[in-house]
Structure 1
Amino acid sequence: MTLFRQIYSLLFGLFLVVVMSLAYVQFTETQSFLSKQMESDLNNTSNSLGIMLVPDLEAGDIVGAETLINVIFEGGYYQQVKLTWLVDGKQQVWENDLKIDGVPQWFIDLGFFKTIKRESTITSGWIQLANLEITAHPGFGYHELWRSLTNAIIMISILFLIAIMLARFGLTWILKPLHDIAEHATDIAHRKFGPDMALPKTSELKSVVSAFNSMSHQLKQIFSSLDEEVSELRKKNLVDQVSALPNRQYMMGRLNSWLGEPNNGSLMMAKFDWLEDVHGKYGYQVRDETIRLLSEKMKEQLDEIAPSVIARIAAYEFAFLITSGEQEVCSKYLHTLIRTVNQEISKAGCKPNEQFYIGIAQRTDDMNVSQILAQTDNALQKAIADDKVFHWFESNEKQLYTREQWREHLSSAIKNKNFQFKWQPVYLTERDEIIQRELYCKLEIAGKEIHAGQFMPYVELLSLGSLLDRCLIETIADSGLLDRNHEPVAINLTFHSLSDKKFHEWLNHFLRNHRWAKRIVFDIPEAGVYSDPESCEALCHIIRDNGAHFGIDHFGRQFGSMAYLQTLRPSYVKLDQSFAFYDESEHSSELCRALVNVARGLDIQIIVTGIQEQPQLARFEPLKTNAYMGFIYPPEPVE
């Protein structure tokens, strides 16, 4: 029971005790007063009637005596009058029934009034004429007592209702600081650190509110310090200090995770020998400033062309990872890069198109890190040998379909729901138990199996993401997969779905009307959270309000604050695959531990991804992560 209800009950208990006590005193006093009044009236009537009957009794006038008694008896205040003539023993009796209008019989049967009688002997001098016995009628007493009781009940009821409203209003106002404290404590328990509470006027509660504000502020500072620690460790371990670009370690991790995802794109390596001339002419400080300015210009110009990662991997070598884009986009990216570098070369006083070389390799199916690095390096060395600005690595693999053919095949597959599924289990770290299964889809076109890595880039390119997500969700629901499988099924949402309002409305309706909504979990890419936080927050509210769950995929990949975790409140985060491929150095462990601590501090489950072998998993044991997944347990066909 809440404190409000306890105080509420106590006040009304005391109110009822006081009121009932007063009502009881009033009731007994009224009863006593009415009894005394009836007794006094009976005495007066007996005396006066005895005096008035003397002449008739002396004359033996029976009719006169009856007439006189009838006049008094018909007033209704007497239940019985009995007159006994002492001369001949004749007895006359007058009686009224014990029925009282307006008073319920059960109330009369309670017998609040005792029978009141008055006997007297009528005399004339020394001669005794008759005996007179009068019994009072309790009707007057019961009537007045009932009227008093009903009036008291009505008044008590009115006062009770007024007291309820006043007490509720008063207690709500008095206990509002406690209610605010309870809400604030709940928010703190869920790691939500809002603004400080205003100090109440009640002096006893000021210290409590001050203590909660101090505790909330300290916890907020702890989370902020963890977030800052992550940022500092990223800068220290994954960022080149001169160019402020990611370093070789970060690029290698991104390459591994990129090749493990359904994407297209390319990798470029550039060698800028002209920076060595700048160093020789002006010194290392000018060289470093030139590198910083060059890096800023490249980020500014190239980010507009395609999503990419630009890294400084050696003193005069840079790598450019285009994470999503066809050859046409990559070609535009390349020419923009050449133009930007030439502008900076001219500013440094060197000759354009000289002393810098670029090698490009396009991503193909089933390519690993060693292969794409080898192809890119071969292209770079070929450009150096031929003294050309750039060289494309020639791949013998032909494009499977044109863009329009992909549009036709994908639209047809979405319309007819032709997708087939595999799923990959996510196991708890401490025991052999599956907590969810991540779903993957594939297609069969003209008898050939097409996996997601081949068609997903075109899904994003052709803005079919929300249609695909809707198709997949409906397919697993219609197939009864959620009925047969008790573990939650994780669905990767595309970037297009995150910002599509129509998809939000459809998903809200679907989850609201599906009985197994709690068995669906959604993976939201961290990059989508940074690119459109408002849409992601709206989508997360829809998912959470309908009983489903969601998590953040590729957690820790982006360079930015982790504050979004407090806003979105995901059930879990999946560490980016790159952390599984980082070396075992102390710095890498510190960064990974800091990320895990941020999530754990908000009571969010941490899932490690990209685990291929047991030694990899063993590296994460000191971090106390909750679960893991990867090709240590490869995807299986959905049964």
Structure 2
Amino acid sequence: MRARFIQTFSPFRSLRARFAVAMGIFGITLGMVMTGLIEWRLEEGLSASARDSLQSTAGEIAHTLSDSLETRQHEVALIGSLVGASQIKDFIALQEVLDSLKQRQPTYAWIGLSSPDGVVFAATDGLLKGVNVSERPWFIQGAQGPFLGDPHDAKLLAKYLKPGADGSLSRFLDVAIPVRNNSGRTIGVLGAHLYWDWVHEVVLSSLAHRVQKTPVEVLIANQRGDWLLSPHTETSKNLTEWRQTVDDDRFLSVVQTTSTPTSPSDLKWTVVVREKTTDALSPIDENRRLMLLLTALLGTAFGVGTWQIAGRVVRPIVDLADAAKNHASFSGHGTDLAEAKLHDETMLVGQALERLARFDPLTGLVNRRVLKERLAGAMRAKASSQGSSAVLLVNMDNFSVLNNTQGHEVGDQLLQAVAQRLLPLVRANDTLARVGGDEFVFVMTGLDPSPVVAMHEASAFASTVSQSFKAPFELAHGPCQCDASIGMTMLQANADGKVDDVLKQVELAVLEAKQSGKNQTVVYDQQMQERLLAQVAFEQALRDAVPDQLQVYYQAQVDAQAQVTGAELLVRWQHPTHGMVSPAKFIPVAEQNGLIVTIGYWMLSSACRQIKSWQTDPIKCQWVLSVNVSAKELGQPDYVETVKEILAGTGANPQRLKLELTESTLASDMQGVVAKMHQLKALGVRFALDDFGTGFSSLSYLQQMPIDQLKIDQSFVRDLGVKGSDTSIVRTVIALGQSLGLSVIAEGVETAAQRDLLAQLGCHHYQGYFYGKPAPLETFVQGLA
């Protein structure tokens, strides 16, 4: 038995053993070579990865420190601006503001306001109140301009603060700014002390974000190179000495500079993040142990595998052939491809890719690619006289509102629910596809060859689709009601057209349905295309017209003695071929495409230039010119700055400029509009509320708005004395204006009777054809002569 064992396993007597030992040695050698190569590559990768991680950490620390310092400096500057603007009238309120800021932001140790001679007269918790700080660096520097200083030990506040656990005093970082009143005179210095501990918190927070959890050390030096933060084990005295040893192989180090460019002192810190090389490369040791284990296993596997193979050279081939036959029989290759797809992984992958290419992953419906293929087939069938076809585009109404309010997950649920409700409506040989976010397309084929009958069939189907939206859709969070607008086109007249043209037609029809009130079906006709082209041409003509073809017309505004007090500027479009274009036609288009902002800028500039040109005329210099302002103009973030630039550029007197706003202008962002009005009112600009009474109710906001004048809409003036309701409205508006101390002007005054009745009701300012039609400047001035 022993001899047989030796003969079988000894490499000197057994060929199988020789092969096994040789392959085992080969496996071990291969493993050792792979271990060496992996260690070499891993060391390079780990070093680079560690430096990237350290660089990211250093950058995060530097960025956070810069942001925090700038935020604190901005907060202090903001309080200083508020204090300067208020002239420091209420010290108790100021004390509360400072305490509130300190409570909200624990970084602050102390915030105080000192007089120009350095005596603190308001401070958080009342600390140092009455103390002279004129010799403190933050006061000296802060009196000259914004100041941000390096950390220092607590001095004046030391006796009020508890020492640290090691008995050390607290360290502060100083922020200071001069406080100036509206005339620019310095009335004090606002200073704040920040706890130095927040730097430790920034460092700890950044280290906590590291993906690699190996220990690192963080050092921070000031602009002089002195260490502000360093570990106890650090032997270098300063940054300069540290740089001389930065090539030490014991550490991997990165340097990042942080600065506060908003501070004239240009405070700069240097952040050093370093990691021990042994910690950074520690995975190499773990990898070496793992690779040695794998090498042993590889050698063993090679030996055992070769032992088995050497004894069964033929048998594995036979087994492999049997396995192939069994697999072929099991998967059904050559007999049932559909069944094969259920068992063959490569075919399953191919089937999944095909599904992604042809089906919408959310609803399972075919996508735009398949839709175009089938639509092209329907068009070819029509060309072959195989019946009529129709295309319906179903667009869900207000779907974006649901997405924005309920979230995209709810929106996806609704889309799936809609698809499930529409699927049962699909007839044989028809197609239902999802082609966009909330758009579904039906391609109906095999309709009656008669265009009239086919149209009736398609319309009836569209009605069925529309009715399917009446019942609420059951979603996870509850029922959801949704309507749909449907655009439809027939293919009998488009057999030779392009697929994209057909889709554009149903999109135009849906657009028409949306503009007509939504939740309806519109059938495409050629006039839609013509209207669209005409609209595009009109918009382009309007773009070309601004401002060369625009003209400014003036309409007088008068008082009770018929004396001109000013004029309203009105824009007119003189088209080179079509003549004068009505504002009612082009103003809405300008509002829609945003050109109204450019037009408004041009009108405002024209008004200011005219105000400037009349400033030496003893009569006209008192006139006030009114300019209408649209909601889009007021919605511009830089509108206030734009008005200021125009006033400064033209040299116009702001008190001779009046901006007219409609109630609808205020509806979108009342608080934002009122804030901008107050900023312009501070310059002297006047405001009138135009078309008062025709928009939303703004009575609750009238006292907040800096309105100078209410303007009675001409729709009420037109039937004044004829309709009792209009007279009551006018009387109410006049009484409201008088109660609020506002002047009231009526527009659209065309007769003396209207003027007289308005005067009886208490309105003494007028505008209308009775006093003159809108006219160019020269005609306007000549008419007043």
Report the TM-score range of the alignment, normalised by the length of the smaller protein: 0.3 to 0.5
Larger radius of gyration: 1
- More helix per residue: 1
TM-score normalized with structure 2 length: 0.31
TM-score normalized with structure 1 length: 0.37
**Structure with greater contact order relative to length (CA < 8 Å, sep ≥ 6):** 1
